[in-house]
Amino acid sequence: MVSIRSISSTPSSLTYHDLPWIVAHREDRCTLCGRCTSVCPTEAIYLAYRRQRMPKLDILQKKRGSEYRTFVGIRQRTDLDHRCIGCGMCSMVCPNEAIGPQVNPNDERARFHSYQKGDAWKRGGRRNDRASLLDQISFNRISMLTDPALDAGRHEFHMNTLLGRVLPPEEYIRRQAKGEWIPPVREIFPFIIGSMSFGALSPNMWLGLLQGVAYCNEVLGIPVVMCTGEGGCPPWVLKSPFLKYIVLQIASGYFGWDEIIRAIPEMQCDPAAIEIKYGQGAKPGDGGLLMWFKVSKLIARLRGVPEGVDLPSPPVHQTLYSIEESVMKMIQTMSMAWNFRVPVYPKISGSTSAKSVLNNLVRNPYASALLIDGIDGGTGAAYNISMDATGHPIASNVRDCYLDLVAQGKQNEIPIFAAGGIGKNGNPVQNGMALIMLGASGVHMGKYIMQSAAGCLGSEKNRCNVCNLGICPKGITSQNPKLYRRLDPDQVAQRVVDVFLGLRTEIKKVMAPLGRSQSLPIGMSDALGISDKDVADRLQIKYIC
């Protein structure tokens, strides 16, 4: 008999039934190879000697009781640091399909113990909410009358978008005649690889993305661009001809900008654009956060910081007095750094105040665009509360801003880009084209690219979400060479190319039945419908049922 006193039962004691994921292990199939335990990123499982009672039913013997056997089994740890995150790497490496995580259908008591060691829970990844308004929007204005639907396979489609400040036509003609400055404009593919920093992503992931992007541009003629996120850019990229496919982000920590500024004289070409991050959809009001696990020697050098320290960027650009002033001065400074040849635009969190920011930009002749990042955006690291409950959905935010520009007749001057939840359930084109028809000029995608191009295991069902800890089992968001060696940059590049070819085909499949081929259908809200009357009214699109 085991005494009660020896049973560990502290307030935070949990059993595996209290955790979000339960490791299901089939002993009869297990060969005890140990691969699962060695691959598990959180060391949630371990091999252990166990005792099993072997009941004896020999009635002729006088001595009653059981015998015991000893065996080696796999068990799940129950402390939060070693909880199963549901990544499923154990089942991926198991030669015998003997193990795998299963969602706990019971109450998760674990969430009541997320405040540990005086801190609140942080995670990387996503919002863990499968609901997507964008998934409900369909394209209904099908050409069936005098305008025949087009052949997506054979017709020629123009789907590129513009990034940059576009002058009013009258002003353009006046400046042309006088030889004055015309703001730089880039013609790009409307689906953009969103800002994921060199630091958040592993070197192999970053290299794979860049290779894929370069291939899309130089071989396939798809002008894809990608954004660096905060954290600079490797010097060899800065001085390479591939810089023109890269949007350099500057954020409140200014990490990596020493390297960038110093590299300007040696740059072979201009970057695609400069993105000034004021906010992020996943964690509005928070700056970037690179946790110490991921500040490796390389990252430390690139960012100009010591190794192994947390790198929390301030929530705002500290050097300036107000956002309005900051936006104005930073846009101007950045424009000047490249002699007004590079578009400079701010990125903000989705917010009810987005329209005010937009109207500030309208009056700033150097502002090139506005990127709004909605609540469904992902991040490398953030507090749970920020990811789960803070922010603004992207659809209505973009729509409001677009209609505001329409009322002023300025919708062609400041392109609005949207981010946050595009492709969260695997429907990037449906989501992206819906936002474009609501008024966005293009969309940024981060999580979807990680999932589709690199096999990120995260999902909206709270799977994995450990990007912040540097233990990414696929090597996507880790700075540990033992982990990121798992990711082959060439294979990532191949997937990037596959993805963008697929996106292009699907965009055609949306545009063709709408009878659109000559330009990206920005603001073509007459094509959209949703079976929710309130949403239809709010977005000023058709209610369908």
Partner 1 sequence: MCRLAMKTASVPFSPFSVISAMEAMKEGYDGSGLGLLLRGVSFADYKYQTGDPILSGIAHTDAALHRLNAFMEAKGYTLKYDHEFNVQPSLIEATDRHKYLVRVYRLPESFKELSQRQIDERLMLTRLALRADGEKHGGDLTAFSFWPNVAMIKEVGWPLEIGQALGLDDHRITSRVCMAQGRQNTNYGINLYACHPFFIQGIGTMTNGENTAFVPIREYLTGMHYPGYIGYQSDSEVFAHILHYVTRRLELPLQAYKHVITPLKTDELANHPQGAFLKGLRDVCRRMIIDGPNCVMGSLPDETTIMVMDTKKMRPATIGGKPGEWALASEICGVDAMIPERDKSLDFQPMRENTVIVPPSRQEYTIWSQFDQFPLPQAA
Q: Which residue ranges make up the site for partner 1 (CB under 8 A)?
A: 141, 143, 145-148, 150, 155, 158, 160, 162, 166-170, 172-173, 176-177, 182, 185, 187, 405-412, 514-519, 521-526
Smallest distance, partner 1 to C-beta of residue 386, A? 36
In three-state secondary structure terms, 452 is helix
Q: Enumerate the β-bridge partners of residue 275.
A: 249, 345
- Specify the residue, 148 or 481, whose C-beta has the smaller distance to partner 1: 148
- Specify the residue, 176 or 319, whose C-beta has the smaller distance to partner 1: 176
In a 10 Å sphere around its CB, with 0-12 CB exposed, 13-18 middle and 19+ buried, how is residue 147 labelled?
Answer: exposed
- Specify the residue, 6 or 146, whose C-beta has the smaller distance to partner 1: 146
E-assigned strand segments in 254-323: 273-277, 289-290, 311-312
Residue 190 token pair:
């409307």
Smallest distance, partner 1 to C-beta of residue 527, A? 8
Residue 268 token pair:
């072979």
Hunting for tokens 């009672």 — which residue is that?
A: 53
- Specify the residue, 13 or 518, whose C-beta has the smaller distance to partner 1: 518
Beta carbons within 8 Å of 432's beta carbon, 6+ residues apart: 190, 191, 422, 423, 443, 445
Smallest distance, partner 1 to C-beta of residue 525, A? 6
In three-state secondary structure terms, 198 is strand
Smallest distance, partner 1 to C-beta of residue 166, A? 5
- Specify the residue, 28 or 170, whose C-beta has the smaller distance to partner 1: 170
Smallest distance, partner 1 to C-beta of residue 522, A? 6
Q: One-letter amino acid identity for 111? A: R
Q: What angle do CA 143, 146, 150 make, to 5 degrees?
A: 45
Closest residue by Cα to residue 520 from 404, 402, 441: 441
Smallest distance, partner 1 to C-beta of residue 243, A? 20
- Specify the residue, 19 or 536, whose C-beta has the smaller distance to partner 1: 536
Using DSSP bridges, classify how beta strands 542-543 and 528-530 pair: parallel, antiparallel or unpaired: parallel
Smallest distance, partner 1 to C-beta of residue 362, A? 12
- Specify the residue, 216 or 492, whose C-beta has the smaller distance to partner 1: 216
Smallest distance, partner 1 to C-beta of residue 137, A? 16
Answer positive or negative: Cα dihedral of 22, 23, 24, 27: negative
Q: What are the CA-CA distances from residue 474 to residues 209, 403, 482 (Å)? A: 15, 42, 11
Smallest distance, partner 1 to C-beta of residue 344, A? 17
> What CA–CA distance (Å, rounded) separates 337 from 351?
30
CB 212 within 8 A of CB 494: yes
- Specify the residue, 474 or 504, whose C-beta has the smaller distance to partner 1: 504
Hunting for tokens 């995608």 — which residue is that?
A: 445
